[in-house]
Chain A
Amino acid sequence: MSVRKKIAGTLLYRFGFRDAKLTVFEWLGIGFLCAVAFIYLYPLIWMCDSSFRPMFEIFNVPPALFQKPIWESVQSYSLTSYVSAFTTHNVGLAFLMSILVTCAGIALTLIVCSLCAYGFVYLEFPGRKVLFMVILGTMMLPMATMIAPAYRVISKIGLVNNPLGIILPYAMSAFGVFLLRQFYIRIPFSIVESARVDGAGHLKIWWNIILPLSRPALAALAIVQFRVIWNDFLMPMIVLRSEHFFTLPIRILLIDSINFNKPYDVIITAGFITALVPMIVFLIFQRHFIEGLTGGVKE
């Protein structure tokens, strides 16, 4: 009892309820939004809970979590479905593939887009404005309409069934060029100019001066790309053919295509793992995340 009181007290303190004097209206608002948030997040709670349960408890109605008091209910937890996901269903390999593709995609995006933005901001060349407008114009193109020719183009350059076939197109982020350009034009030009006078080449200035200065913008872009690449489904499904190249969503699709004795527990577990990674990244980089996805688009 005292432990619970302590926890409740700490929570109240942490969220600042202690010192705040709230009106009835504001209490109602908080209560309402918390209730809405719980209902809203219930599917995720269910997924987390079910990933630890034996198959026969997953589809209990009412849900197993509510049938008994929580400390009794938790006793049927086990890692069975995790073991089966990682051993028989190769989720571990898919996890590594997803990590690999995501990291490579983000790294390539950051390099290609920042080089491009650097060229547009610090160098003068014929057609600079036109080319920039062209890049901006491609920002909203619905690429999903072109999956049929995209498949042929990727197969022509020999990248079908090769992770590079999906990694290279990710780097083509017009939004990334735009975001970084907006950041670079706020860096004083004199910094670059004096480095030029000292005889530094553009690549050196880019690597030693501009990249370190633009860390916040790079972080925002990395996070936007992380969400896009980690969750991409259509292109990997078309491009990747061999099972050992499958990323997590494609692996889940493969597990889901088992129609006889469908392993729902493994599907839920693999899904939970897939969902957990971006949630952890989000909790660590929350501020960057919301800025990258909302603030960065403002201008």
Chain B
Amino acid sequence: MADSVAQKKKHKHNKNYWREAFSGYSLIAPFMLLLLIFSFYTFAYGFYQSFRSSQGLNPGDFIGLANYKEVLSSPTFWKAVKNTFVFTGGCLITQIPVAFVLAVILNSLPLKRVQSALRAAFFLPVLINTVVIALLFRMLFNPDQGIVNWVLELLHLPNTYNFLMDSNLTMPLLIIVSFWQWTGFHMVYFVSQLQTIDPTLYESAKIDGAGRIKTLLRITVPMMRPALTFVVVTSAIGGLQLFDLVFMLFPNASYGPGGAGMTMIAHIYDQGFSSQFRLGYAAAVGWVVFFIIFIFSLIQLKAFGFGSNDE
């Protein structure tokens, strides 16, 4: 293929070359058009909008940096930033180690059928709509009639928690539900990566007399580094965009007791679409949040040494 492309390059002034080029452009045109409208133009329009006092369909007036000033001095915005990072950090710390351990146990099971049945079972929650999950857990965590406090009672643990109304428990609750939703997915990803590790590595380790723990730390963990990087980076980007769960988990779009679960995207939606339709301000928040996520992702990729190796 490389050859033929090189051959064509020689004949740039050939009529045929430009005919091919035209076919090329028209084939990628539908996708590029969508990308242009729904990505580039949207971002650019958001930038334009963020300097205006747009409300709903009314484009408003140019107001300079007023929206950005308001964003950066808004206590709700900063609370949302803090909550979002607490949530993302909490998710990474809880989900990834557990998923890793479950994956190693699952992968060491001798029966392939049992292995794939369990893998499917753990995979199910990731298929389900977050809206449904949020409503389900709202019912399960109901202080009087939910099953969670009943289970705590069975285990002789204190069972007077009111997860839905206690603002101290809002973030833990979000992290718990997210744990349920995503750990299985990470585990399945890890298992499919574990199966690509060359088994001869383990055999030679066995011959050298390395124990189970040592093999795990010296072979499995280093070989899993790319998978770990991928899971950490993607789930952090996902976590920073938390919206559906917190929107539906608490009734009437309250984002937790006293807004204790407000997140960055929820703040955009709340300002732009719920009561006053302040689209200009929402666009400004959107650009600030975009920068926060962008910089955070760059730092993460750097920390994992992305770009330094051949990738």
- Which A positions have Cβ atoms within 8 angstroms of B? 14-17, 20, 22, 26, 29-30, 32-34, 36-37, 40-41, 43-44, 46-47, 58-63, 111-113, 115-116, 118-120, 123-126, 128, 131, 135, 138, 140-153, 155, 157, 168-169, 171-172, 174, 177, 185, 189, 193, 202, 206, 227, 230-231, 233-234, 238, 248-249, 252-253, 256-257, 259, 264, 267-268, 271-272, 274-275, 278-279, 282-283, 286, 289-290, 293-295, 297-298
Contacts and interface: CB of A to CB of B under 8 A. Distances in A.
Contacts of A286: 116, 120
Contact of B38 (A22, A63, A118, A153): A153
A270 to B, nearest CB: 8
A30 B109 contact: yes
Interface in B115-136: 116-132, 135-136
B290 A177 contact: no
A43 B21 contact: no
Q: Which among B111, B131, B189, B193 has the greatest number of chain A C-beta atoms within 10 A?
A: B131
A116 B31 CA distance: 6
B127 to A, nearest CB: 4
B262 interface: no
B145 interface: yes
7 contacts: A125-B20, A145-B286, A152-B45, A168-B34, A169-B38, A189-B1, A282-B120
Interface of B: 1, 4-5, 8-9, 17, 20-28, 30-32, 34-35, 37-39, 41-43, 45-46, 49, 54, 57, 102, 105-106, 108-114, 116-132, 135-137, 139-140, 142, 144-147, 150, 180, 184-185, 188-189, 192-193, 230, 237, 240-241, 243-244, 248, 251-252, 264-265, 268-269, 272-273, 279-280, 282-283, 286-287, 289-290, 293, 297
A294 B31 contact: no
Given A37-B122, A43-B137, A271-B132, A172 B39 contact: yes
Contacts of A169: 34, 38
A41 B31 CA distance: 40
B136 A271 contact: yes
A59 B106 contact: no
A256 B249 CA distance: 11
A16 B147 contact: no
A146 B31 contact: no
Given A29-B105, A119-B27, A271-B132, 17 more contacts: A33-B109, A40-B122, A41-B121, A58-B139, A123-B20, A124-B9, A135-B35, A140-B237, A149-B283, A152-B279, A153-B37, A169-B34, A193-B4, A202-B23, A274-B128, A290-B119, A295-B192
